[in-house]
Amino acid sequence: MKPNQTLEDDQRLRQVLRQWTVNPPLPPRFKEQVWQRIARSEAQPAPSLRGSLARLLEVVVPRPRFAFSYVAVLLVLGVAAGSLAAQAKTKRLDESLGLRYVQSLDPYRAGPSNP
């Protein structure tokens, strides 16, 4: 086979492939089946709260990424809340001890039992 003839065959093959179209026949009662599926999906009731929670516990929470993020966020919240509460408590106590110091020295700031 000559090289020129091979090239010519390739070009003809490409042309045939470009023109080739496939028109497969639809399965029987295709349209009817599609409408039935649409009707079924519309008729499904909205998921209940209990069902959503169950799905959350069964499917969403056990996913490693979700579980790790959930635990990490709660941990950070716990640390932040604990630190803030401790700061508030320390500040309150500092103020109260400062007042006690002043009251121990200044009769005008002392309680009603002192003159």
Partner 1 sequence: MKKGATILLLGLLLATAAFCGFYYLGTASCRRMMRGPQPELAWLKKEFKLSDAEFARISQLHAAYLPQCAARCRRIEEQSQRLRQLLSQATNMTPEIQFVLAERARMRAECEAEMTKHFLDVSRTMPPEQGRRYLAWVERQTFLHGQAMEDRHHTQGGSQPAHQHQM
Residues of the shown chain interacting with partner 1 in the complex, contacts defined by CB under 8 A: 54, 56-58, 60-62, 67, 70-71, 74-75, 77-79, 81-83, 85-87, 89-90, 93-94, 97-102, 104-109, 114-115
Minimum Å gap between C-beta 86 and partner 1 is 2
Minimum Å gap between C-beta 46 and partner 1 is 21
Task: Determine phi and psi for 104, rounding to 5 degrees.
Answer: -70, -20
38 versus 99: smaller Cβ distance to partner 1: 99
